[in-house]
Every structure is written in C-alpha cells, then in structure tokens.
C-alpha cells in the first residue's frame, strides 16, 4: 500500500510541474530583427536615460492611448506623465517596459512589453510611438 501512495504522490508532483511549465510565459524580444527599429530603440532608450522630455514628446503619437478608460491624445499624455516634473514615474516605468522586450505585430506595430502582445494580459502601460521621429 505505501508504494501505491508514493506513486500517486509522484504522479501529482509530475502533473503539477507539467502544468506549471505550460503556464510559463517565456521572454520574447524581436526588436533586433529589424535594424531600423533597433537603431530607433537605442535612440529612444538614450532619450529616456537623459530624461529628455522634448525627444519623447516628439515621438509620441498624437492619438496615443493613455489608459484603458478612453483617455487619449498628447495633452492627456503630458498631464498623465508630467515629464517636466522631477518625480515623474514615466522614466522608470517606460524604461522597464522597453527592457522587457517586445514583438512585431504586423509590419507597423511593435508591442512592448512582450507580455502585452498576442492576447497576453498584464497590468503595465503600453505606449504608442512613431519610429520615424527624431530622438
């Protein structure tokens, strides 16, 4: 009888490990697959490091979606993130988002972080950018 119990416990452990492996979300970063975007991302990260509000505002899309509640547009973005304030959380939050990797969705869209793409759900901000802008 003890061997049967041991076997059942072992099976439950193995099943738990298999289920956990299926729930894992492995990191993805496709940014290097397009050299033009990789160069843009490097300039963008340099602007974040410098806390260069003008460079960031130059690349934020005019119709940026700022939240899930319908808030959109550049003026709402400025109000929400207060880039000119020393305590703005934008620099830290956006820096984190960009280091978490991302994926291309079609020819025009790069979604960062990767956990926000392809139906995945996380509670972190996503930002619309225009890669043709100067940084």
Please say whether the beta carbons of 127 and 60 come within 8 A: yes
Query: Considering the domain boundaries, does residue 91 fall inside one?
Result: yes
Higher pLDDT, 42 or 6: 42
Query: Considering the domain boundaries, does residue 94 fall inside one?
Result: yes
Q: Domain count of the chain? A: 1
Domain range spanning residue 93? 26-116
Query: Considering the domain boundaries, does residue 3 fall inside one?
Result: no
Per residue in 75-130, pLDDT (tens digit) is 999 999 999 999 999 999 999 988 888 998 888 888 888 877 765 544 334 445 55
Query: Considering the domain boundaries, does residue 15 fall inside one?
Result: no
DSSP 46-108: HHHHHT-HHHHHHHB-TT-B-STTS-BSHHHHHHHH-TTSTT-SHHHHHHHHHHT--EEETTT
128/103 Cα distance (integer angstroms) = 14
Query: Considering the domain boundaries, does residue 122 fall inside one?
Result: no
5/10 Cα distance (integer angstroms) = 9
Query: Considering the domain boundaries, does residue 14 fall inside one?
Result: no
Query: Considering the domain boundaries, does residue 35 fall inside one?
Result: yes
Predicted pLDDT of residue 8: 45
Predicted pLDDT of residue 123: 37
* pLDDT exceeds 80 at position 25: no
Per residue in 26-58, pLDDT (tens digit) is 788 999 999 999 999 999 999 999 999 999 999
Predicted pLDDT of residue 109: 84
Query: Considering the domain boundaries, does residue 123 fall inside one?
Result: no
Predicted pLDDT of residue 28: 86
| Neighbouring C-alpha atoms within 13 Å toward the C-beta of 101 | 11
């Amino acid at each position: 009888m003890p061997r049967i119990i041991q076997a059942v416990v072992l099976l439950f452990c193995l099943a738990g490990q298999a289920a956990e492996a299926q729930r894992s979300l492995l990191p993805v970063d496709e940014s290097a697959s397009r050299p033009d975007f990789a160069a843009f991302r490097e300039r963008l990260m340099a602007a974040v490091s410098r806390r260069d509000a003008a460079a960031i505002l130059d690349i934020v899309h005019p119709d940026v979606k700022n939240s899930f509640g319908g808030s959109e547009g550049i003026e709402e973005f400025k109000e929400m993130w207060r880039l000119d304030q020393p305590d703005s959380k934008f620099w830290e939050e956006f820096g984190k988002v960009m280091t978490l990797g991302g994926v291309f969705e079609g020819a025009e869209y790069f979604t960062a972080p990767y956990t926000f793409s392809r139906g995945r759900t996380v509670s972190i901000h996503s930002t619309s950018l225009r890669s043709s802008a100067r940084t």
